[in-house]
Structure 1
Amino acid sequence: MIIDKLHALTSPRLAVIDFNATVQTAAHWLSRPGVGLVVVCNGSGNAEGVLSKSDLVRHLAGSMSAPPVSALMSRSIVSCSLQDDVHAVWQTMAARNLQNIPVIDDAARPLGILDIRDAMKALFEQEEMQERMLFNYVSGVGYR
């Protein structure tokens, strides 16, 4: 299964903010249900970094200053594309202990946010379907 099959789940989670946005703007987006990561983009709409709830809390715990999000964001983006395999992406997320990663197109524009729970659910449903198909094959369903 490819990430594109999960577009209906990934696109509503997409939160994009400008490179020079305030911490308050980031907090506003991150306070929305289901949003755990914002993608920070430059003026051309290309992803420059990401900011998670954890990044914001870490900053607020150590300082009450209000720098732009570009000072807080992670510049090293772990992302996936629509053509990537869900299982491979899930393995990357699990290995790096990531809850969310952006889905990015070839021009580095964000298309959605993949939540690890959605990836796990899709993989589980795929396994259940394969199990049903195998059971039906072994028991001869459809051949009588």
Structure 2
Amino acid sequence: MLVQHMLAEARKRLATISVDAPLAEAARLLSYEHLNLVAVCNQDGKLIGVISDSDIVHCVSACHPECRRACTLGAEAAMTREVIACTLEDSLREVWAKMKDHDLRHLPVLDEAGGPIGILFARDVLRVLLEEAQIEEQDLKDYFLGLGYH
């Protein structure tokens, strides 16, 4: 199965901000239950980074107690710049391998121009792969037992 088959679900989890948006905006978006990653885009709409809740915690914890600028910092201050992403043409097995290899829970889905169009969650990718494996197992059982063949 390809990523494109999960696009509807991935679109529901997409939140984007511009690179010059305040970090507080990313924090506000991450406070919503269904959002765990914010895509940071340049003026052309291309993905240039991502921000997770742990990125914000790391950035804010690095500030000295007397520093009150955490709410005015830009998204660029906390974003992860080396983004691992996927496209609609990637297989879910390839996506899972990327997630596993890089210890990721979320993965942005990019269009042909490099713009974000969704966010995949590891649990959803695993759910679909498990369903595929169960169907494949049942098909093999049916084949070996001769069910449905005359």
TM-score range (shorter-chain normalised) is over 0.9
Task: Give the match's secondary structure for 2:39.
Answer: strand
Matching of residue 39 in structure 1 with residue 45 in structure 2: no
Normalising by structure 2, report the TM-score: 0.91
Q: Which residue of 1 aligns with 2:147?
A: 141
Structure 1 residue 61 displacement after superposition: 1.7
Task: Give the match's secondary structure for 2:17.
Answer: strand
Task: Give the match's secondary structure for 1:40.
Answer: strand
Matching of residue 81 in structure 1 with residue 87 in structure 2: yes
Q: Which residue of 1 aligns with 2:19?
A: 19
Q: Which residue of 1 aligns with 2:104?
A: 98
Q: Which residue of 1 aligns with 2:127?
A: 121
Q: Which residue of 2 aligns with 1:109?
A: 115
Structure 1 residue 47 displacement after superposition: 0.8
Amino acid corresponding to residue 5 of structure 2 in structure 1 = K
Q: Please give the alpha-carbon distance, in whole angstroms, between the structure 2 residues aligned to 1:102 and 1:139.
A: 42
Q: Please give the alpha-carbon distance, in whole angstroms, between the structure 2 residues aligned to 1:129 and 1:11.
A: 26
Structure 1 residue 143 displacement after superposition: 2.1
How many pairs were matched up?
144
Structure 1 residue 34 displacement after superposition: 2.1
Task: Give the match's secondary structure for 1:17.
Answer: strand
Amino acid corresponding to residue 116 of structure 2 in structure 1 = P
Q: Please give the alpha-carbon distance, in whole angstroms, between the structure 1 residues aligned to 2:28 and 2:77.
A: 17
Gaps of 5+ in 2: none
Amino acid corresponding to residue 2 of structure 1 in structure 2 = L
Q: Which residue of 2 aligns with 1:132?
A: 138
Normalising by structure 1, report the TM-score: 0.95
Structure 1 residue 78 displacement after superposition: 0.3
Structure 1 residue 126 displacement after superposition: 0.6
Structure 1 residue 97 displacement after superposition: 0.8
Moved over 2 A (4+): none
Structure number with bigger Rg: 2
